[in-house]
Structure 1
Amino acid sequence: MRKVGITGGPATGKSTLLRLLSRLGYPVFSADEVVRRLLAPQGQAFEKVKALCPWAVKPEGTLDRRLLLERLVQDPDLRQALEALLHPLVREELLVFFAKARKAAWAFAEIPLLFEAGWEDLFDEIWVVTCKEETQRRRLRERLGKEELVEGLLKLQWPLSQKVLWATRVFSSENTPEVWRRKLQGIFSKSRAPTGESP
């Protein structure tokens, strides 16, 4: 099984690539989805984050993820505390995912902070999803609204130009999904089928 980490900058199109791979029949893992589950009221990290960030608890008892983001881009200590809490839990679930997918030819994990967390050794290949800077900023402004939040989020991660240097393959979301599909077909044509059988 080839273990592939998918990363890139915020709003570059990582999730789009992951959905395409899922539709092609490959097992996929999303760190963002795991974090959302961990931070839900019944999630494994909820009580600890609630104790660490009581100001982020909404009246209905859920966590205000937007407020958490606004604070952590301004507070390095808070960011480090949250990463120290969440990263081991995400890593544990990632290893379980790989174990369950061991019979597949390929398995894909979307990890936004793959390089920043130092998880390169967990993967056989690293695919980086990129786009033009103006495209990325436009998407982030549409998603976040505040320019200072856009700037803060970008500063939390390695620049795309640095991530590309460490990439096995690069996918630009300036291309259409059909271009990606053809590229993937070329990559997989010499490999086994998604489940591990010969094509």
Structure 2
Amino acid sequence: MKTLGLTGSIGMGKSTVAAMFRAEGVPVFDADAEVHRLQGPGSKLLEAIEALHPGTTSPELGVDRALLRQAVWGDDVALARLERLLYPALHRVRLTFLSRHRARRLVVLDVPLLFEKGGWRKMDAIAVVSAPAWIQRRRVLARPGMTAARLAHILSLQTPDPEKRRRADFVIDTGRSMNATREQVRCVIACLSGPGGR
């Protein structure tokens, strides 16, 4: 089994590309979705999150993500504490996913902060989803509640796109048509899944 780390900066189209891999029959581990689940109702982590940031959770709804984001916004120490709580649980879920799909030739691990948190070292190959900066900006600023200042802060926490592209084994360009993007996805799958695939 080969593991393909899929990453990309905000607004680059990574979720769309991940869906294309799924549509082609490749199992995809969505780290963001798993974090949402770990913060949802009934999660064993709720009590610990509430202890760190009182008032950010409820048994019925789980974590109020907007309140939690406000609690750690711009506070590196608070963010690190939260990550030390979440990441071990996320790692266990990922191991379960890999075990479940161990007979597959290729799986995708969709991890937004793959470079930033060092996860790239554990991958057989890395695909970076990218688009021109003006397209990225237009996409992100169209999101409800997004501002130019918030976008700038998010980008300051992420490895710059040119650096990600330089370190990637594959760059999937989403600045073109959906069909062009889908063809790139198929090419990556063929390269990694075929006989003698890297």
Aligned length: 194
Tell me the TM-score normalized by structure 2. 0.88
The 2-side partners of 1:187 and 1:12 are apart by 18
For the structure 1 residues 81 and 177, does the alpha-carbon distance in structure 2 shift closer, same or farther, using more than 3 Å as the test?
Answer: same
- Structure 1, unpaired ranges of 5+: none
Cα displacement (A) at 1:113: 0.8
The 1-side partners of 2:154 and 2:174 are apart by 19
Query: Alpha-carbon deviations, 1:16-73, whole Å to 9, x = none?
Result: 1110110111111100100000001211322211111114236965322123223433
Residues 141-156 of structure 1 mapped to structure 2, 5 A cutoff:
141-143=141-143, 144-156=145-157
Cα displacement (A) at 1:4: 0.4
The 2-side partners of 1:149 and 1:190 are apart by 37
Secondary structure (helix, strand or coil) at the match of 1:117 reads coil
Pick which of 2-11 and 40-49 moved more: 40-49
Pick which of 26-35 and 38-47 moved more: 38-47
Opposite residue 177 of structure 1, the aligned amino acid is M
The 1-side partners of 2:167 and 2:61 are apart by 41
Secondary structure (helix, strand or coil) at the match of 1:164 reads helix
Matched, 1:67 2:67: yes
Whether contact under 8 Å (1:73, 1:152) holds in the other structure is: no
Which residue in 1 is equivalent to 2:114? 114
Tell me the TM-score normalized by structure 1. 0.87
Query: Alpha-carbon deviations, 1:121-156, whole Å to 9, x = none?
Result: 221001011122222222222223233222222222
Residues 46-125 of structure 1 mapped to structure 2, 5 A cutoff:
46-57=46-57, 62-125=62-125
Identity %: 31
